[in-house]
Every structure is written in C-alpha cells, then in structure tokens.
Amino acid sequence: MARFCDFNVPYSENTENLHQIVEMAIKLGYESVALNCCVTPGTKKGQAAVPSPPKPVELSQATLAPLMAQRKTFQQLTRLTAIIETNEQKYKLNPNNPPVNTYDILAVQPLNMKMFEAACHDLEVDIISLDMTQKLPFLLKLTPIKRAIARGIRFEIVYAPAIRDSTLRRYIISNATDLMTFCKGKNIILSSQAEKAIELRGPHDVANLGVLFGMNQAQAKDAVSVNCRAVLLHAETRGSAVGVISIERIMKQTPGVISVERIPPASADKRTLEKDSGEDPPGKKPKMTAQKKIK
C-alpha cells in the first residue's frame, strides 16, 4: 500500500508550532509531509521573487521510533505555491530558475480564468490549488480540466478550513463537489493546510471526508496515498528530458555504494543529453533512486 502523504503543511517562522504539526502527522500515520511556502511572485522590486526552500524540521529519535519499529521512513519535502494573477507573475515561475528548481513540488493557485487556463494548458506545475474557502472567482470548465488531467496535473482540496469554521465548510463542500463533477473523483489530492496540530486528521478520516466531497471509497483513499505519490513522480519528470532521460552525477563516497546527484536539465549540456539518449535503451525508465549498489 502506498504511503500516506500530506502535501500542505504551511511553513512559518514559528518553529515550535511547525514541530508540533509534523510530530502529530507522524503520530497519525503519515509517512510523507511537504512544507508549503506560499508566495505571490513579483510583489516587491529588487527582492527575490521566490524565497529559498525551508529547512526540514529536526525530529528526535523518540518521535520517529514508532515508524522505525514498522520499518517505515519519514520523508519531508518542500513545496512552493505561487498565487498568480498576471502574465508577468506567470513567467517568474519558470521551473529552471534557481530558487524554483530547488523545491520538490511546484503548485499554483490561479486567481482568474485566464491564469487557470494557462496553468492547465502549459504551465510546468504538479498541483493546481484553488482557494475553495470562498466563491470561486471563475467558472470551472471541462476543456482545461481535461487537458490538465491528460498532462498528469493534480487538483488539490484543502480540508482544515472546513474543520475550523462551518461557513467555510459550506463553501468547500460546494466547490469540491463542483470540481468533482469534472474530475469524476480522479486526479484529486486531499491535504490539510493545518495551522495547528489539532486541525490535522488521520489519513482514514481524511478519506472519509473525501466521501463527503463526492468521491467513492477507493478514490478517496487514493487521494491521500496513490495520487500524492503520482505528484512526486510528476515532479521528478520535470527535472528530466521528456520524463525519459535524466542526468546524474556519480560520486564515489563509500566502497560498495555510489551516491547519485541529480542535475537539473537547464545546467546540463545539450550535447551530453543527446549522447546519453543514444546509450540508453529505448523505453528504459528514468533513474529515480538516490543510491545504487555496484554489481
């Protein structure tokens, strides 16, 4: 069974609160958590459009022990959510720019129809997040959503505001069911956006919430496990050429184990890329492992 993920833990400077949230996530059975940086690119002149990714939360051995007992590992990722409204902001989100390509997951939150269509059709992102706590500023349409699904982009539904307040709950349920009529329950991820540890819910409870949003039981469970994994794989392919070839620098560290470092395609020479493609047999999957053993 795929591991349970929560891809929206808002990153804040308040480390104690963040620590509590991550600890609670471990306690509830999540194995993967993404720290989310929410930005509006290009608001101030001269400032970097996107901040550098947050550092992972340091966890003590005692909190990780229940996971270790079941031979599981805990994974902390970084995620960038850009709120885009104009074309200018859209271009700042080029995935080859240095601060952007260091994030593990890339998400956008379009504020108008034009940007939503752009995000569905040609933006290189993994997640499209819509602010569901109010009436959506545009009508959802089938064509762009179909295109987004074909490109493997996931839509995000956030559940913590629904727990916080009953008015927000009403909006979230109506918007989520609206989205569900187009997606038919597929290509959806459910994540928390919890500001406090007490707002998190266990993965099975979140799946039950998904049922409330109009998915069936299997789809709701996929929304917290399988689809999240798909998002990660989609993010991996962004760093490779057409999702088939990726370039890795091999360094020898310890005898018997080669550690591998990924190079983003922007910095790689085009010629080496072609040379590599010649060597690789067709249909070979991209190397996604971090460590490999010598035969």
Partner 1 sequence: MVRFKHRYVLAELIFGKDLLIYNITQRVVYAAVRDIIEQLHGRYGIGLITPGLSVKYINEYTRMVMVRCRRENLKLLTSAIPFIKHLPDGKGGQLPCFLRTLHVGGSIRACQKWLVQHNRQVLPTLLLRCTSKEEKSRMRKSIFNSTLVKEEPWNEGKDDT
- Determine, following the binding rule CB under 8 A, whether residue 162 of this chain makes contact with partner 1: yes
> What part of residues 203-262 is at the interface with partner 1 (CB under 8 A)?
204-206, 208-209, 211-212
10 Å CB burial of residue 47 (0-12, 13-18, 19+) is exposed
Radius of gyration of the CA atoms of the chain, in A: 20
Nearer to partner 1, 66 or 137 (CB): 66
**Judged by CB under 8 A, how many residues of this single chain contact partner 1?**
24
- Contact mark string toward partner 1, 191..210, x via CB under 8 A: ------xxx-xx-xxx-xx-
Q: Which stretch binds partner 1 (CB under 8 A): 65-73, 79-87, 148-156, 222-230?
A: 65-73
Q: What is the rounded CA–CA span in Å between residue 21 and residue 195?
A: 8
The answer to the question of residue 163 lying near partner 1 (CB under 8 A) is: yes
Which range binds partner 1 by CB under 8 A, 62-70, 121-129, 136-144, 229-237?
62-70
101 vs 208, which CB is nearer to partner 1? 208
The angle subtended at Cα 93 by Cα 91 and Cα 95, nearest 5°, is 115
Sort strands 188-191 and 248-254 into parallel, antiparallel or unpaired. Answer: unpaired
Closest to partner 1 by CB, 105 vs 220, is 220
Identify whether the C-beta of residue 258 lies closer than 8 Å to the C-beta of residue 212: no
Distance of CA 242 to the CA centre of its chain: 19
Contact between 271 and 255 (Cβ < 8 Å): no
Shortest Cβ distance from residue 109 to partner 1 (Å)? 24
The span of 107-115, 155-163, 221-229, 272-280 binding partner 1 (CB under 8 A) equals 155-163
> Bridge partners of 251?
259
Rounded distance between C-alpha atoms, residue 123 and residue 119, angstroms:
5
| 90: contact with partner 1 by CB under 8 A | no
Nearer of residues 102 and 217 to partner 1, judged by Cβ = 217
Instruction: Work out which of 43, 51, 66, 73 binds partner 1, going by CB under 8 A.
Output: 66
8 Å CB contact between 190 and 198: no
**At its nearest, how many Å lie between partner 1 and the CB of residue 15?**
19
Residues within window 10-39 making contact with partner 1, judged by CB under 8 A: 24, 27-28
Tell me the C-alpha distance between 44 and 160, whole Å: 30
Q: Are strands 248-254 and 257-262 parallel, antiparallel or unpaired?
A: antiparallel
CB of 155 to partner 1, least distance (A): 20
Residue 84 or 223: the one with the smaller Cβ distance to partner 1 is: 223
- Among residues 1, 13, 62, 255, which is the contact residue for partner 1, using CB under 8 A? 62
Tokens linked to 172: 């979230």
Which structure tokens are listed for 199?
């707002």
The token pair at 50 is 């996107």
**Residue 211 beta carbon to partner 1: minimum distance, rounded to whole angstroms:** 6
Phi and psi dihedrals of 28, rounded to 5?
Answer: -80, -10
Q: Rounded to an integer, what is the distance from CA 92 to the centroid of its chain?
A: 19
What are 156's two structure tokens? 């995000």
CB of 221 to partner 1, least distance (A): 13
Closest to partner 1 by CB, 103 vs 171, is 171
**Residues in the site for partner 1, rule: CB under 8 A?**
24, 27-28, 62, 65-66, 69, 159, 162-163, 166, 169, 197-199, 201-202, 204-206, 208-209, 211-212
